[in-house]
Structure 1
Amino acid sequence: MAPVPETSIGQVAARTNYIERSQPLPSPVAILGRGFDRPDYADLFRPRLHSANIRNYHLENVHLDTAAMTLFKNGMKIRESNYLVPLEFYENACVIETDLIKLESVTEHVMARSFDNYYHWLVQTIPGLDWSARNIGPDNITLLSGDLKPWQAEILEILGYDRVSRIALDPRHHYFIPRLEYSEFQNGSTAFEISLSAQRVYDRLAAAAMDGTPVDAKILYVARTDSANRAAENEEALIRLLEAEGVRVVVPGSLSVPQQVNLFGKARAVLGPHGAGLTNVVFCRPGTIFYELLPSHYLNPCFSRLAQAAGLEYQIDLFDSAETVGEDPHMRGWILDTDLILSRVVEIKHRISAARSKRTAAPIPPEPEAASPLPLLAETTHLVIREKPAVEASGFLSRVWRRVLQ
């Protein structure tokens, strides 16, 4: 079989809108600790000087190979839709007319990838859905997704998008979609960038979910005990030491979304190994300390970007990887340096105490007003976008880019 030709989404889009345009960013607090003496490692995690340009594409009369989550226009694959799909799925993607499900054109359909991972749903689905709901209208869009998990439904309800009509995609069928909204959040091109519009969505979600209960814990440790991926071999030992220091250990997957929002939104510091539960740092108040623990074989800066967008004080250390046989970085273990981590916790406590003393000595400013939603777009612009690779990293980082963050 001859390979199916490819095209770019910018070439076949009927309209292209900016969700946000790049702007200069203030210099945040970022401490790159152990393991970042290498310039290439430091460059990867160093704060960004500008936020991202992020676009939304309006597509007409496209097909979807649901199993491969690949879009087609005029018989050609749209290469930007190839994200977090095994290479063989994308290579074999096609349009099958038999049992093709043809959607109606009465609403705009919003692609919401079948992400069942907390990070990907919150960071790569919700911001694009929010933009479409506010600029097209929640009654004029239909969400295309997989079956929703309870926490996904909770996020939609908190934001008021539970009334948006939805179609659960069946991976056994292909679809014809007359009108489709597809944002750059969906294909991973914004994962290592700063999005201010996404942070405004998280601020609204936090404001809606926050309650008046007192602070539960000043310092949170986000445990990975519910996941076999990238398991730290001595995490249980670290947990016992941290609990003795008064740190609260949480497993976000065992909590409701409002519980997670309240825990993180009221904490003074958050630390933990790289994993989807750390996505909740988007609900932290500006100035909250965020300390990330990362195995040296898995250099993924996505949480450093979320921290910068949220205005957090970010700190990170790299830890030694175990001599695990195999190529899959998610299955490789690693060793936490408990002495180093405990010393960091002591430093964090001092920073919290110093900040409290400073606040006590100074007049208390009024509470900031909640961020207002972005205005509706006044006009639509068609952009001519220069071609560029969807992934610029190579080697291991390129493989990381394509793996689900669990």
Structure 2
Amino acid sequence: MENVFVNSAGQIWRNENEVIHHGNRAIETIGVSSSRSYGTAVLSTNSTRGFYHWFAERLPALNWSLQNPDFDGTILFGQHAQQFQDKTIELIDHPAPQFERIDQVAWCEECYIAHSAASTLAQWEYFGDLYQAIGERAARLSTINTADAIYISRRDTQRRVMVNEHELEAGLSSLGVKVVIFGEMSLADQINLIRNARLVIAPHGAGLSHIAAAASGLKVVELVPCQMGSHSLRFNFARLSYARGHDHRLWLEPIDEAINKWTVSTPPLLRHVENMMHSLG
């Protein structure tokens, strides 16, 4: 599109009578003077609901501009963009395009839209090199010791609390599994751990998004708290694994949604993990 106004919510218009995209809500900034002007821009301002939606959906939609050394433009994030978006862009090895946050209204002479959807996972050959490049730079920057088997702990979050996670971590550690908390380390360390692991065990959560950067053949055990009828809502990481050629297994446990807590059946899970550890050789 040419000669358009855009705002932090991802809405696009030329004037009040020519609205191109409103996102099913009124454009409150029509008539507001633009604070910045851009020659060529890529609009990627829709609010990101979490790391998965950024790393596995929105990032590949930007691949054509991120991996194109001849692209001379600016990627526009919204004012509520998360820090992990900046950190990801910084891991691109060659000089990355400029990216900026827009707080109100910007004017673009030429504007591209980065559409994203889970269906892009079926087109991995078009953007797999982007994750490879990010992974290679993460490996050079990382300072953490890697391991064949890791457990991504969620004890640093209050969402979907696993009541007996300390017990599970102790049991996994006794089997030689490295317990990590991604919230306490850099993005480079997180990605490097995943790239070098052969087995990843983790509760359902954003930490599993990093498997997008892992090599094919990775074994994944995803611990999924669920209620009857809610299983279909929690297959996003399994779909990501399928696209990447991973061996992905779901370990289902009931959750009490009233208190947002759940418990893992530790003995059978540890036996299952021990068998998988033996299969690693």
| TM-score with structure 2 setting the length | 0.82
1:268 aligns with 198
**Paired residue for 1:198, among 120, 127, 130?**
127
Q: Output the amino acid matched with 1:206.
A: G
Distance in 1 (CA, whole Å) between partners of 2:159 and 2:5 is: 34
Distance in 2 (CA, whole Å) between partners of 1:77 and 1:333 is: 44
Distance in 1 (CA, whole Å) between partners of 2:225 and 2:47 is: 28
**Paired residue for 2:39, among 106, 125, 129?**
106
What are the Cα deviations for residues 79-100 of structure 1, in whole angstroms up to 9, with x where unaligned?
A: 7xx4xxxxxxx53x31433433
1:64 aligns with 6
RCO higher in structure (CA 8 A, sep ≥6)? 1
What are the Cα deviations for residues 48-74 of structure 1, in whole angstroms up to 9, with x where unaligned?
A: xxxxxxxxxxx33444353x4444475
- 5+ unaligned residues in a row in structure 2: which ranges? none
User: Is 2:60 aligned against 1:127?
Assistant: yes
Q: Output the amino acid matched with 1:78.
A: H
Corresponding residue SS for 1:155: helix
**Paired residue for 1:207, among 130, 136, 143?**
136
What are the Cα deviations for residues 362-394 of structure 1, in whole angstroms up to 9, with x where unaligned?
A: xxxxxxxxxxxxxxxxxxxxxxxxxxxxxxxxx
1:178 aligns with 109
Q: Output the amino acid matched with 2:6.
A: L
**Paired residue for 1:344, among 250, 272, 275?**
272
**Paired residue for 1:145, among 71, 77, 100?**
77
More strand by share: 2
Corresponding residue SS for 1:100: coil
Corresponding residue SS for 1:107: strand
Runs of 4+ in structure 1 deviating by more than 6 angstroms, as ranges, are 212-215
- Alpha-carbon distance, 1:290 to partner: 0.8
Instruction: Please report the RMSD computed on the Cα atoms of aligned residues, expressed in angstroms.
Output: 3.0
- Alpha-carbon distance, 1:231 to partner: 2.0
- Verify the 8 A CA contact 1:64 1:95 in the aligned structure 2: no
- 5+ unaligned residues in a row in structure 1: which ranges? 1-58, 83-89, 326-331, 354-406
- Verify the 8 A CA contact 1:102 1:177 in the aligned structure 2: no
- Verify the 8 A CA contact 1:192 1:305 in the aligned structure 2: no
2:156 aligns with 226
Aligned residues: 272
- Alpha-carbon distance, 1:184 to partner: 2.4
2:240 aligns with 306
Distance in 1 (CA, whole Å) between partners of 2:166 and 2:102 is: 40
- Alpha-carbon distance, 1:145 to partner: 1.2
Q: Output the amino acid matched with 1:115.
A: T
Distance in 1 (CA, whole Å) between partners of 2:110 and 2:19 is: 17
Corresponding residue SS for 1:167: strand
Q: Output the amino acid matched with 1:258.
A: A
- Alpha-carbon distance, 1:141 to partner: 1.3
- Verify the 8 A CA contact 2:121 2:243 in the aligned structure 1: no
Distance in 2 (CA, whole Å) between partners of 1:215 and 1:160 is: 22
**1:71 to 1:163, Cα distance in 2 relative to 1, 3 A:** same
1:316 aligns with 250
Distance in 1 (CA, whole Å) between partners of 2:94 and 2:261 is: 39
Q: Output the amino acid matched with 2:192.
A: N
Identity of aligned residues (%): 25
* Matches for 1:38-117 after TM superposition, within 5 Å: 59-66=1-8, 68-72=9-13, 75-76=18-19, 78=21, 82=23, 90-91=24-25, 93-101=26-34, 103-115=36-48, 117=50
1:371 aligns with none
Distance in 2 (CA, whole Å) between partners of 1:313 and 1:239 is: 22
- Verify the 8 A CA contact 1:70 1:78 in the aligned structure 2: yes
**1:252 to 1:323, Cα distance in 2 relative to 1, 3 A:** closer
Distance in 2 (CA, whole Å) between partners of 1:96 and 1:206 is: 39
Distance in 2 (CA, whole Å) between partners of 1:71 and 1:136 is: 27
- Verify the 8 A CA contact 1:215 1:266 in the aligned structure 2: no
Distance in 2 (CA, whole Å) between partners of 1:226 and 1:312 is: 27
